[in-house]
């Protein structure tokens, strides 16, 4: 079918080395494979998302992918205005027939990196720096904590959130400061789930010769030797699938929940971090993955009851 | 005395926007003399001196110092050519010490440490030589004005001024302090230095200068040897025609006490007591004049009575009623009108159109309003009537007030306050900067008010004006009323009282 | 962790967070003591951060980054000077304008050049100011009390941190012990006195705002290439205004400025540290309280409840001699 | 010769000079666009096309303009009384709280036209309340209002974030915002106005608060130039000493002016909160309070001028969105650049061209 793909990023910019860049990579992959060009837009503030989505829809772009929960209400509105256009929202659920909602089981991926963190930590203290203090980010933290605890029952997990507004995604200075605080308190592995703020966390960990864990995209290459692993969230898949499905007339609305089983989330291991991962760690993470897929490990999802088991 | 003059000005011309402050001025000041310059307010004296001092730049003309033409780009250049100036408004940094003020601009090196020592020594020397005594470590803001002026003089001397310009130095001085200053000036002259002295006071001119030049409306109208002229001639040159300062007026018929001041004490913004335990009455149908050197508490007294400044203690009664709160609006309602000393800052809003100023302070009167709104038609009609009655020019109530000349601006204020038909009228400097025609007009209006049974309190630093108008004269010195006299008291007597010497 | 460790951590965090405030507040000090109000501190800091990050990225040199930061900030000072000294414009409006302009232009250029949402690329260690370990820091780390204090708080900071603490006595010395300082303080109180002393008011004020520019250059550089490793949009995040508050809080005096900045930095560090922690009797204290506290304290000070803060007398007023 | 006191005719002071300032600001912005490697003329035509090329574009332009009229008026009212209120941003933010509380309380029970007047009062009251503390500090304790209002912007932001994150947020939702208002808490769009001109409003949130803004502008004009209170405010603004001479109470006038200023800023919240997003969101003011400074300066603090310059800034905002959409190389922050330049040239450098114009004018007049 005719496909005229469009992509609206979350605030933070296309090349954030993280969430948005993953979406960008998905679109690029589609372009490389099909030769079909796409249009994208980088809102730099919360007010612009809706207008961009509407602009795309009204110019006949189809499908329109909006990555970030920030565009939830925008998609709700615009999808109603353009019932014939297909919309994809990532990280949030919009209940409309022409909207596909792609959400991830971040707790599962976080569990895996938690396992690695628990094993890599010598001090028995690990840290977590979140972006905006929302249930979604708590979900990352909670999975991570469960994973770390599964390998070291008495591990101590420090956690900090960068802020309570959208600015928290883009504040590497504070991110670094929070990481430094955690390091000063003894943490030797810090997981950042904070968009661009995480860059500051990774930087600080590298500066202080500690381990860090990246998020969303594979960030292992940012500070080789310091980034222990990355909790990749395959936003690229969401984008890529949205485009190919539409092209092949296979678009379906509804919710897609991608977990470890669907390869939607996972712990990235590549040449950059190979030397950091011992065979035992590799084995442990493989086992955890298998257990999650098999259902023998059930990772608690924070958002179901807004609490994390201790 | 040599033959080359210390200063020669040729064709100096200066405009401030529309105001032609100096018109083609020529002036020669001989070396080793004290040269007086007189002229009415706004004649352009300060402007001319500031041009010599490099503070303003002339639009045209030439300055020669000791015979050589010089370009004085800024005050630094003036100082370098040996010119020093004591400004009419002091140019001191209030929260600096005397020493710091003296050093400013002549620090003697990039670091202060070295200069401080030599400045101290030099101050000691100047103190000895001229009797210019002042504590170098005192803060300026804590010094009385007389001493502040001394610091200004020290600044000029410290920089080695050969030509010293003093712009109205005696306005803030008591006669005794003025005498002290004049003694210093004479010592300077005798050492071969040149002094240019600006003053309004013809007596001072006669007493100390060697030569005197007269300015009028931006022009240099005459230069005379002091020995060869008279006070009368100078006065005539100053205003451009024969001066008749005697106002025609009949006997006063005082009635009830309308304004009564009891044990009033007022402090200024810094907390210094400016009016100290003052009591007096003003009756219906009389003019009470307050004489005194500027800065002896008259301004604060007027402001307190007008409800602008909160008295520290004491009472004021208007028509027998105690005024317990400083509230200018309520006082107006009770029938008090006030022509303020400073029309530019108080009496008028220069940005407003004329008609707006014609109701300033009275804008809440029912005649000018409809509910919360102003009745613009009524206000403009009223303004036009006053313009005609007082011959305010140009006769345009929609003109911005800044565009009226000083005299006409004063008329706007006077008409507003007098036409309100108040019971009590308090007036500060009614004719400052106003031409002679307007002076006569304003004086006549004030007498008419008295004859209509109003109580009038008049403050003026012009002793002549006080004597011409008042029925009784109170003399203020250092915040006290030091005595009461009738207008026929001699100038001598009043002068001594103003100096705080006799009562 | 015992309380002493906590204290050490909070103190070292305080130092890191105070540095940009100290530079910026000192910048404001020079400008405002000369009678030029400067609410464009925020913009200058941000502009300097951007310039420093770009140049450091391109040249791989932290020092060139610093130079660029200073140049950028000084040119903004000159704009402020041109508007408010030469053209006698409203100083507050000029400052607001600079803040807007910089907030926009850094993102516009950053996005056009690097396409990272207004960020500059991450910097390599060579193009940053890295922490310096002072001699003996490792040796005495284990010594009780002073060990941690020396090795964690005093040592282990980057060169700009030490420069900031050096800038405080230096500023004091310049203001109170040099000719330039005497004149600068005078021009902020009574420009007429300076003018009649034969000193150019404009040039003096220009030099003062340029000093402010240099100091803001340091603070911006610190933000971008010492504290972090890239420029991030809006990275000054109101620090210019906090510095302004600190300046008022310190009553326009150099040494108190340092203490005010340390206080405000401490509040910020405390906010990070206290996040999510329970305080006995009160429970979790919202971080917003810490964020608002510097501003609240400054208002209380301005209200005259903690002594009076009298600004330089000629502050905010353009010097006009001819109407 | 100094030229400052030479008076120029009104068409130069109020027409030519602002236009010249604006042109310079745009020229420099053009240079920035050119530096980025895009065509300045192309950007300009996109700006105009986006802002005025369609009913929807115009609708957005007027939507933005509505907010700017309120904040511009807010700044202007204070300026007339000699007070530089930099706190409109924070006052508008708090105004949003007042307006949202009203909408949340009433939307279930009454139609919008009942909610609206209450919301106007609520928004105004909260805005005024937020202005009242700096106002009091200025009136009674002489604290510099510029500094205190800046401080209050930050305090207000912290307070609002706290409330939205901890109190007003819908449990389980991620974004710190209130629930969506029902119809009774939403202001109707002005589609019919567009239809009158044969255009379609589309999705643009151009709504009834525009009319409120115009009414507010009229009342501000009436207040400043036709009432006794306005006369007193202008006197105080032009000459504090003349005001004290005239018996105009300083503290009271400062308080009233600032309360009105805060109320106007607060009412701005109506437009985005009830007119567009139908919920209270974090940072919904989005700098409109600061834009008010530019708008007021451009409009020479006169309501008519403010309406014009608010529309100009509306064009800038909407057109800027359009440019950033069509020219991906230029981000929307270009608006901030232009805004900064407009403030610089129309505000701080407003008299840069004056001396030259005086000379030209005088030559011309002599002939
Ligand atoms: N800085 C200035 N800008 C504009 N106009 C000025 C300025 N200084 C003086 N003037 C105007 O120039 C004219 C001459 O003023 P000047 O101060 O020289 O008079 P003066 O003779 O010293 O008066 P006074 O006796 O009151 O001191 C006046 O009309 C005055 O308003
Ligand atoms: N500040 C000002 N702004 C604009 N125009 C002014 C200003 N001051 C004076 N003028 C204009 O310059 C003219 C001369 O003013 P000035 O005060 O010197 O008058 P004057 O000759 O002293 O008259 P008067 O005897 O009435 O005081 C006035 O008519 C007025 O139009
Ligand atoms: Mg004079
Ligand atoms: Mg005159």
Query: Is the Cβ pair C197, B105 closer than 8 Å?
Result: yes
Nearest Cα residue to B427 out of B457, B452, B453, B455:
B457
What's residue C245's pLDDT? Answer: 86
Tell whether C130 is within 8 A of chain B (Cβ).
Answer: no
Cα C52 to Cα C41, D333, D340: the distances in Å are 16, 20, 22
DSSP assignments along D259-316, one per residue: HHHHHHHHHTTIIIIIIIISS-BTT-STTHHHHHHHHHHHTTT-HHHHHHHHHHHHHH
Is domain B5-239 in CATH 3.40.50.300, yes or no?
Answer: yes
Please provide the DSSP assignment of C248-308 as one string.
HHTTT-HHHHHHHHHHHHHHHHHHHHHTTPEETTTEEPPHHHHHHHHHHHHHHHHTTSSS-
- Residue from B46, B201, B404, B461 whose mutation best tests the ligand 1 pocket (most atoms within 8 A of CB): B46
ipTM: 0.84
Residue B111 has pLDDT above 70, yes or no: yes
Nearest to C321 among B55, B92, B115 (CB): B55
| Confidence (pLDDT) at B433 | 65
User: Which H, E and C letters describe B218-287, residue by residue?
Assistant: CEEEEEEEHHHCCHHHHHHHHHCCCCCCCCCCCCCCCCCEEEEEEEEEEECCCCCEEEEEEEEEEECCEE
Q: Using CB atoms, which chains have 3+ pairs under 8 A with D?
A: A, B, C
Every domain of chain C and the residues it spans: 1-127+135-240
DSSP, residue by residue, D71-86: HHHHHHHHHHTT---T
Three-state SS for C149-162 is: HHHHHHCCECHHHH
Ligand nearest to the CA of B408: 2
Residue labelled with tokens 């140019």: B91
Mean residue pLDDT across chain B: 88
As a dihedral over the C-alpha atoms of residue A284, residue A287, residue A293, residue A296, rounded to 10 degrees, the angle is: -100
Q: For residues A73 and A71, what is the distance between their CA atoms, to the nearest angstrom?
A: 6
Touching pair C, B by Cβ (3+ pairs < 8 Å): yes
Maximum Cα–Cα distance across chain D: 76
**Interval C109-117 mean pLDDT:** 84
Locate tokens 């000083």: which residue? B406
Inter-chain CB proximity C177 and B112 less than 8 Å? yes
B231 CB within 6 A, ligand 2: no
Q: Which ligand is nearest to the CA of B40?
A: 1
Rounded CA-CA distance B153/B162 in Å is 12
**Segments making up each domain of chain D, as ranges:** 63-311
- Residue B406 CA: nearest ligand 2 atom is 27
Radius of gyration of chain A (CA): 19
Max CA pair span of chain A: 57
pLDDT digits (tens, 9 = 90+) for C14-29: 999 999 999 999 999 9
Q: CB distance D245–B59 less than 8 Å?
A: no
Query: What is the pLDDT, as a whole number, of residue D324?
Result: 84
Q: What is the mean pLDDT of residues B370-384?
A: 93
What does the alpha-carbon distance between residue D85 and residue D71 come to, in Å, rounded to a whole number? 10
The position carrying tokens 């604060």 is: B300
The pLDDT score that the predictor gives to residue A111 is 95
* Residue ranges of chain D whose pLDDT lies below 70: 1-5, 366-367
Q: State the burial class of residue B351 (Cβ atoms within 10 Å of its Cβ: 0-12, 13-18, 19+).
A: middle
pLDDT tens profile B294-306:
778 888 999 999 9
| Average pLDDT, integer, range A209-221 | 92
- How many angstroms separate the CA of residue B401 from the nearest CA in chain D? 12
Q: Where are the beta strands (DSSP E) in chain D?
A: none
A143 interface with C at CB cutoff 8 Å: no
- The CB density around residue A269, as the number of other CB atoms within 10 Å, is 19
Mean pLDDT of chain A, nearest integer: 90
A222 touches chain C (CB under 8 A): yes
Beta bridge partners of A233: A265
Q: Sheet with B19-29: list strands edge to edge.
A: B19-29, B7-16, B60-65, B68-70
Cβ distance of D238 and B349 shorter than 8 Å: yes
Peptide bond just before A63 cis, omega within 30 deg: yes
* Residue written as token pair 């991906």: D328
C-alpha dist (Å) from residue D44 to B274, D324, D327:
65, 12, 12
Task: Give the three-state DSSP class for A78.
Answer: helix
Q: Which of B104, B111, B151, B403 to mutate to test the interface with C (most CBs of C within 10 A)?
A: B104
Peptide linkage before B394 cis (omega within 30 of 0)? yes
Task: Give CATH for domain D63-311.
Answer: 1.10.3470
Mean pLDDT of the C280-285 span:
71
How far, in Å, CA of D279 to CA of A207, rounded? 43
Among the listed residues C109, C135, C154, the one whose alpha carbon sits nearest the alpha carbon of residue C14:
C154
- Asked whether residue C129 carries a pLDDT value surpassing 70, the answer given is yes
Question: The CATH number of B247-335+422-502 is which of 3.40.50.2300, 3.40.50.300, 3.30.70.890, 1.10.10.10?
Answer: 3.40.50.300
Do A299 and A143 contact (CB within 8 A), yes or no? yes
Lowest mean pLDDT among A28-42, A159-173, B62-76, C166-180: A159-173
Instruction: Name which of D2, D148, D336 is nearest C100 (Cβ-Cβ).
Output: D336
Cα–Cα–Cα angle for B170, B172, B175, rounded to 5 degrees: 55
Contact D261/D159 with Cβ under 8 angstroms? no
Contact D139, D250 (CB under 8 A): yes
Distances (CA, A) of A139 to A114, A237, A296, A304, C275: 13, 21, 20, 9, 18
Distance CA B214, CA B235 (A): 9
Q: Which of A99-103, B19-23, B167-171, C151-155 has the highest mean pLDDT?
A: A99-103
Q: Is C234 exposed, middle or buried (CB count within 10 Å of its CB: 0-12, 13-18, 19+)?
A: middle
- Residues of each domain in chain B carrying CATH 3.40.50.300: 5-239, 247-335+422-502
| A36-92 pLDDT tens trace | 999 998 886 666 788 889 889 988 998 999 998 889 888 998 999 899 999 999 988
Alpha-carbon span C30 to C183, nearest angstrom: 12
Q: Is the CB of D2 under 6 A from ligand 2?
A: no
In whole angstroms, how far apart are CA D271 and each of D166, D202, D303, D308? 25, 17, 18, 18
The pLDDT score that the predictor gives to residue B1 is 46
B and A adjacent (3 or more CB pairs under 8 angstroms)? no
Q: C8 to chain D, minimum CA–CA distance in Å?
A: 28
Least confident of B371-385, B395-409, B424-438, D307-321: B424-438
| B101 vs C contacts (CB less than 8 Å) | 193
pLDDT of residue C1: 53
B40 lines ligand 2 (CB under 6 A): no
Q: How far is A161 from chain D (nearest CA, A)?
A: 13
Which residues have C-beta within 8 Å of that of residue D125, sequence separation ≥ 6?
D98, D263, D266
Q: Which ligand is nearest to the CA of B87?
A: 3
Q: In sequence order, what are the beta bridge partners of A41? A: A8
Q: Which helix (H) or strand (E) holds C202?
A: helix C201-221
C-alpha to C-alpha distance for B277 and B290, rounded to whole angstroms: 15
What is the pLDDT, as a whole number, of residue B503?
A: 55
Residue C151 has pLDDT above 80, yes or no: no
pLDDT, tens digit, for every residue of B427-467?
998 887 676 677 888 898 999 999 999 999 999 877 778 88
Residue-level pLDDT at D7: 73
pLDDT value of position C308? 65
Using CB atoms, list chains with 3+ pairs below 8 Å to chain C. A, B, D
């Amino acid at each position: 079918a005719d496909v005229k793909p469009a992509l609206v990023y979350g605030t933070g910019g296309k090349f954030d080395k993280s969430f948005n860049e993953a979406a960008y990579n998905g679109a690029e992959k589609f372009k490389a494979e099909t030769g079909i060009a796409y249009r994208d837009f980088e809102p730099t503030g919360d007010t612009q998302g809706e207008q961009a989505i509407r602009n795309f829809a009204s110019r006949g772009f189809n499908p329109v992918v909006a990555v970030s929960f920030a565009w939830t209400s925008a998609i709700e509105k615009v999808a109603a205005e353009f019932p014939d256009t297909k919309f994809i929202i990532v990280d949030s659920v919009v209940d409309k027939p022409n909207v596909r909602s792609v959400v991830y089981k971040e707790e599962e991926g976080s569990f895996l990196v938690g396992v690695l963190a628990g094993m890599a930590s010598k001090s028995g203290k690990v840290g977590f720096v979140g972006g905006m203090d929302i249930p979604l980010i708590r979900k990352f933290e909670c999975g991570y904590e469960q994973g770390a605890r599964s390998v070291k029952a008495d591990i101590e997990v420090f956690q900090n959130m960068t802020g309570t507004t959208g600015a928290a995604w883009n504040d590497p200075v504070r991110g670094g400061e929070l990481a430094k605080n955690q390091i000063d308190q003894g943490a030797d592995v810090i997981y950042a789930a904070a968009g661009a703020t995480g860059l500051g966390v990774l930087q600080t960990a590298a500066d202080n010769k500690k381990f860090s864990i990246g998020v969303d995209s594979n960030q292992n290459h940012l500070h080789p030797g310091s980034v222990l692993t990355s909790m990749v969230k395959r936003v690229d898949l969401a984008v890529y699938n949205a485009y190919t499905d539409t092209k092949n007339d296979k678009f379906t609305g509804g919710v897609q929940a991608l977990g470890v089983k669907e390869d939607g989330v996972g712990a990235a291991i590549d040449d950059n971090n190979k030397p950091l991962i011992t065979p035992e760690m590799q084995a442990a993470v493989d086992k955890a993955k298998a257990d999650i897929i098999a259902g023998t490990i059930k990772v608690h999802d924070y958002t179901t009851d807004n609490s994390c088991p201790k | 005395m040599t033959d080359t003059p210390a200063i020669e000005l040729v064709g100096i011309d200066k405009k401030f926007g529309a105001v032609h402050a100096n018109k083609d001025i020529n002036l020669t000041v001989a070396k080793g003399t004290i040269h007086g310059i007189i002229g009415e307010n706004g004649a352009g004296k300060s402007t001319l001196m500031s041009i010599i001092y490099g503070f303003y730049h002339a639009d045209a003309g030439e300055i020669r110092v000791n015979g050589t033409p010089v370009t004085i780009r800024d005050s630094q250049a003036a100082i370098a050519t040996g010119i020093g100036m004591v400004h009419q408004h002091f140019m001191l940094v209030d929260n600096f010490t005397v020493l710091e003020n003296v050093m400013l601009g002549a620090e003697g090196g990039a670091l202060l440490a070295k200069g401080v020592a030599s400045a101290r020594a030099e101050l000691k020397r100047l103190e000895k030589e001229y009797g210019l005594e002042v504590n170098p470590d005192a803060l300026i803001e804590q010094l009385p004005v007389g001493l502040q002026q001394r610091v200004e003089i020290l600044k000029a001397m410290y920089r080695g001024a050969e030509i010293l310009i003093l712009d109205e130095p005696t306005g803030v001085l008591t006669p005794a302090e003025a005498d002290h200053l004049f003694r210093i000036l004479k010592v300077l002259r005798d050492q071969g230095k040149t002094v240019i002295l600006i003053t309004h006071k013809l007596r001072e001119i006669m007493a100390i200068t060697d030569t005197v030049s007269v300015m009028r409306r931006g022009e240099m109208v005459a230069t005379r040897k002091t020995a060869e002229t008279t006070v009368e001639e100078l006065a005539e040159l100053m205003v451009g025609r024969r001066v008749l300062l005697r106002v025609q007026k009949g006997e006063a018929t005082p009635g009830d006490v309308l304004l009564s001041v009891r044990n009033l004490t007022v402090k200024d913004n810094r907390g210094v007591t400016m009016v100290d335990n003052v009591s007096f009455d003003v009756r219906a149908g009389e003019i009470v004049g307050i004489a005194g050197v500027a800065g002896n508490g008259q301004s604060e007294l007027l402001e307190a009575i007008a409800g602008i400044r909160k008295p520290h203690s004491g009472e004021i009664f208007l028509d027998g009623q105690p005024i317990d709160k400083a509230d200018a609006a309520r006082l107006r309602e009770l029938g008090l009108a006030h022509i303020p000393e400073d029309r530019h800052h108080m009496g008028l809003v220069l940005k407003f159109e004329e008609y707006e100023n014609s109701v300033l302070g009275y804008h809440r009167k029912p005649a000018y309003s409809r509910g919360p709104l102003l009745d613009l038609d009524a206000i403009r009609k009223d303004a036009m009537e006053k313009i005609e009655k007082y011959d305010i020019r140009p006769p345009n109530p929609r003109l911005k007030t800044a565009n009226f000349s000083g005299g006409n601006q004063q008329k706007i204020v006077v008409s507003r306050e007098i036409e309100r038909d108040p019971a009590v009228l308090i007036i500060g400097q009614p004719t400052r900067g106003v031409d002679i025609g307007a002076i006569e007009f304003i004086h006549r209006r004030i007498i008419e008010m008295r004859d209509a049974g109003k109580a009038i309190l008049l403050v003026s630093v012009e002793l002549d004006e006080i004597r011409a108008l008042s029925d009784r004269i109170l003399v203020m010195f250092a915040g006290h009323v030091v005595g009461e006299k009738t207008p026929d008291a001699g100038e001598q007597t009043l002068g001594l009282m103003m100096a705080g010497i006799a009562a | 962790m015992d309380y002493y460790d906590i204290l050490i951590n909070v103190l070292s965090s305080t130092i890191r967070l105070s540095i940009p405030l100290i530079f910026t507040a000192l910048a404001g000090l020079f400008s405002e003591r000369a009678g030029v109000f400067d609410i464009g501190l925020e913009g200058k800091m941000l502009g300097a951060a951007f310039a420093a990050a770009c140049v450091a990225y391109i040249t791989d040199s932290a020092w060139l980054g610093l130079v660029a930061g200073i140049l950028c900030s000084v040119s903004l000072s000159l704009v402020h000077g041109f508007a408010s000294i030469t053209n006698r414009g409203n100083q507050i409006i000029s400052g607001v304008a600079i803040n807007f302009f910089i907030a926009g232009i850094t993102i516009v250029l950053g996005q056009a050049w690097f396409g990272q949402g207004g960020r500059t690329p991450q910097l390599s260690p060579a193009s940053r100011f890295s922490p310096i370990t002072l001699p003996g820091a490792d040796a005495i780390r284990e010594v009780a009390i002073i060990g941690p204090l020396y090795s964690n708080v005093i040592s282990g900071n980057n060169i700009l941190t030490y420069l900031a603490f050096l800038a405080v006595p230096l500023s004091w010395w310049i203001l109170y012990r040099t000719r330039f300082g005497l004149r600068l303080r005078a021009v902020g109180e009574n420009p007429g006195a300076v003018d009649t002393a034969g000193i150019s008011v404009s040039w003096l004020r220009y030099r003062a705002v340029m000093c402010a520019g240099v100091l803001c250059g340091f603070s911006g550089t610190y933000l971008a290439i010492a504290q972090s490793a890239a420029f991030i949009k809006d990275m000054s995040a109101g620090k210019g205004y906090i510095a302004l508050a600190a300046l008022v809080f310190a009553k326009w005096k150099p040494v108190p400025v340092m203490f005010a900045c340390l206080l405000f930095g401490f509040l910020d560090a405390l906010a990070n540290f206290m996040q999510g922690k329970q305080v006995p009797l009160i429970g979790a204290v919202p971080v917003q309280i810490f964020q608002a506290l510097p501003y609240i304290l400054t208002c209380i000070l301005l209200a005259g409840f903690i002594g009076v803060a009298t600004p330089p007398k000629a502050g905010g007023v353009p010097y006009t001699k001819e109407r | 010769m100094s030229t400052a006191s030479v008076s120029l005719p009104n068409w130069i002071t109020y027409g030519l000079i602002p236009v010249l300032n604006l042109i310079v600001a745009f020229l420099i912005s053009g240079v920035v666009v050119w530096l980025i490697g895009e065509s300045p003329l192309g950007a300009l035509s996109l700006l105009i096309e986006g802002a005025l090329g369609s009913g929807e574009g115009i609708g957005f332009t007027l939507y933005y303009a509505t907010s700017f009229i309120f904040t511009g008026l807010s700044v202007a009212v204070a300026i007339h009384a000699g007070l530089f209120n930099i706190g409109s941003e924070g006052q508008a933010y708090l105004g949003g709280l007042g307006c949202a509380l009203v909408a949340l309380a009433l939307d279930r029970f009454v139609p919008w036209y009942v909610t609206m007047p209450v919301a106007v009062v609520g928004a105004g009251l909260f805005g005024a309340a937020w202005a009242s503390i700096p106002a009091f500090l200025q009136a009674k304790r002489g604290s510099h209002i510029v500094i205190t209002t800046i401080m209050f912007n930050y305090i207000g932001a912290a307070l609002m974030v706290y409330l939205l994150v901890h109190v007003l947020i819908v449990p389980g939702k991620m974004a710190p915002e209130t629930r969506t208002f029902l119809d009774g808490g939403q202001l109707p769009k002005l589609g019919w106005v567009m239809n009158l001109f044969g255009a379609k409003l589309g999705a643009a949130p151009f709504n009834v608060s525009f009319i409120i803004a115009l009414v507010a502008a009229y009342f501000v004009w009436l207040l400043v130039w036709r009432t006794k209170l306005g006369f007193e405010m202008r006197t105080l603004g032009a000459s504090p000493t003349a005001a004290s001479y005239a018996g105009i109470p300083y503290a009271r006038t400062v308080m009233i002016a600032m309360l009105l200023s805060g109320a106007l800023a607060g009412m701005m919240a109506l437009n985005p909160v009830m007119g567009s997003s139908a919920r209270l969101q974090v940072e919904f003011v989005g700098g409109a309070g600061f834009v008010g400074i530019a708008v007021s300066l451009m409009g020479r603090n006169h309501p008519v001028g403010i309406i014009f310059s608010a529309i100009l800034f509306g064009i800038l905002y909407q057109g800027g969105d359009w440019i950033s959409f069509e020219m991906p190389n230029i981000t929307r922050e270009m608006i901030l650049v232009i805004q900064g330049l407009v403030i610089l040239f129309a505000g701080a450098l407003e008299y840069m061209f004056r001396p030259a114009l005086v000379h030209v004018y005088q030559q011309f007049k002599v002939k």
